[in-house]
Amino acid sequence: MIYLDHAATTPVAREVADTMYDVLLNGSGNPSSQYPYGAAAKKRLEADRAVIAAALGCKPDELYFTSCGTESDNWAIRLAAHQNRRVGKHIITTAVEHSAVLEPCRQLEQEGYAVTYLAPDRQGSITAQQVADALREDTALVSVMLVNNETGCVFPVGEIARLLRERGSKALLHTDAVQAFLKLPFRADTLGADLISVSGHKLNAPKGVGALYIGPRCRAVRPLLAGGGQERGLRSGTEATAQIAGFAKAVELRLEGYEEKLARMAQLKQYALEQLLTIDGVVRIGNGDAPHILSVSLVGYPSANVVTELGAQGICISAGSACHRGKLSHVYAAMKLDKKTAAGVLRVSFAPETTEADVDALVSALRRHRETRFPML
């Protein structure tokens, strides 16, 4: 199998699986229990938290474990709305956020909030000036992702943070960094965001574990889940110790030769772009700078058909976010792509271990598809 859909999920590394297996067999105590077996689980949990926090650039007590990036996004948005409920009921986000941000914003609209959805340009970019133009006295939250999951565009979150400080805004800043964590250099203690969402399964860790950075400006933190008071009373539910251990191990593995891995992915992305553009009808979509995501379109050829046919050949790519389930992407609609271009969009995403041979196989398969299939009218 040739796997080129690492933005959707990543294979669990063998070392990660071994770490989880050890915790499941030998460290399955409840971290909230008072006896030594539970205390050992708690010690391991806090050590794993410290590993992930260090990689994210925050203090361990600023990092809270969740079940996934979606939960982290939902919690961050509800947290900000609650803390700033007396500031106002205005939210700024983008029209190209992940559904895990857009859907809770839409829920808040039904509760009386006004939401400004910033539109990207034709290349998929968002600017800090757009945030400046939309900012109001009653803005409670600004939520802008760090890397778009479909185009790979990097958004100016640090610049937005400086803007909010200069304006003296009380709005909290959240960024969905699920596609950025350890794929783009940044640190929580210098980025300027108050809330940062990350997820394990984009980094060769298992599904079912994520985390939320909650910065010092977040004072009136409201738990998303009430219950037994785990995670310092802010996220109840017995901690998923095996998944968390796997997350920490995956982070350690990603940090080995980190800069070389980023450079390798960036070089491979450039190689893939050059080779894909040799196919008649292929155009690049967006100007994404993230090293692991490349969006193109085989104009006129429905991407669902391409993905299905290539999948049958053992080549895995996507037609956009895996969360769309075949529906036309709201990201490409917001970019105002014409119908034929939007219908032909393909997302190719890489890992440090992806090879040029993998790309060559993809290019050959796409060329055959174009030569043997008819485009839509």
CA 134/CA 92 separation, integer angstroms? 7
CA 112/CA 377 separation, integer angstroms? 44
Residue of 50, 81, 77, 82 whose CA lies nearest to 63: 50
CA 107/CA 87 separation, integer angstroms? 19
CA 364/CA 75 separation, integer angstroms? 44
CB of 141 closer than 8 Å to CB of 88: no
> Three-state DSSP class for 101?
helix
Q: Is 323 part of the annotated catalytic residue set?
A: yes
- Annotated catalytic residues are 323
